[in-house]
Amino acid sequence: MKGLKKGLLSLMLLSALGWTVAPLSTGAALADNAAPATPAAKPAPAKTPVKKPAAKKAVKKKKVVKKPMRAAHKGAPVFVGSIAHLDMNASPMTITVVRNAGKKSEFVFGGDLSSRTAIFKGRKKVHMSALQEGQKVVLRYHRAHGTLVVTAIHIR
């Protein structure tokens, strides 16, 4: 190791002075008593640093914040199904919604619509003309004077 350090230091000194050292490349450049040059061994490939696989980053889970429901809808019963019949000319207007249509466990809901019934498509409030037979809906309702009154309709 000491010899290698001395050799490197001497090469650095020569290069600082501007001198160059050329390696012997052919046998003709050798002295008469020198042995002919043997083919140079291939230099060992330089070691490339092995990249370690990146550690998996911890995924932060977002906390789901539930928005409080409006007081009018809190605890209100819900019915999910598709519109079977809609009568806008009746007084009061009526809607019939069916769950599991045509099956043994078919369930029919009939309720009255009022002028205060809110109709939504997504988060947007729409007019009653947006309701059509066959649409899937979610109804919120309450009992009033012996009938079921629909308070909100959400079109899916």
What does the pLDDT average to over 90-113? 81
**Which pLDDT score is estimated for 68?**
56
Q: Are 66 and 145 in contact (CB under 8 A)?
A: no
Give the pLDDT band of residue 99 (cuts 50, 70, 90): confident
- Could you give the count of Cα atoms lying within 13 Å of 88 in the half-sphere of its Cβ? 8
**Which pLDDT score is estimated for 31?**
53
Structure tokens at 89: 């000319």
Please give the helix or strand (H or E) that residue 52 lies within, else none: none
Question: Distance (Å, rounded) from C-alpha 86 to C-alpha 93?
Answer: 8
Model confidence over 110-140: pLDDT tens digits?
Answer: 888 888 888 999 889 998 888 888 999 998 8
Model confidence over 58-76: pLDDT tens digits?
Answer: 777 777 776 654 544 567 7
β-bridge pairing 147-155 and 107-121 = parallel
Closest listed residue to residue 108, CA positions, set 99, 95, 117, 116:
99
Amino acid at 84: A
Sorted by where each starts, the structural domains of the chain and their CATH numbers stand as 78-155 (2.40.50)
- Tell me the CA distances in angstroms from 73 to 39, 85, 109, 142, one per residue in order: 92, 24, 19, 10
**Which pLDDT score is estimated for 120?**
92
pTM above 0.85, yes or no: no
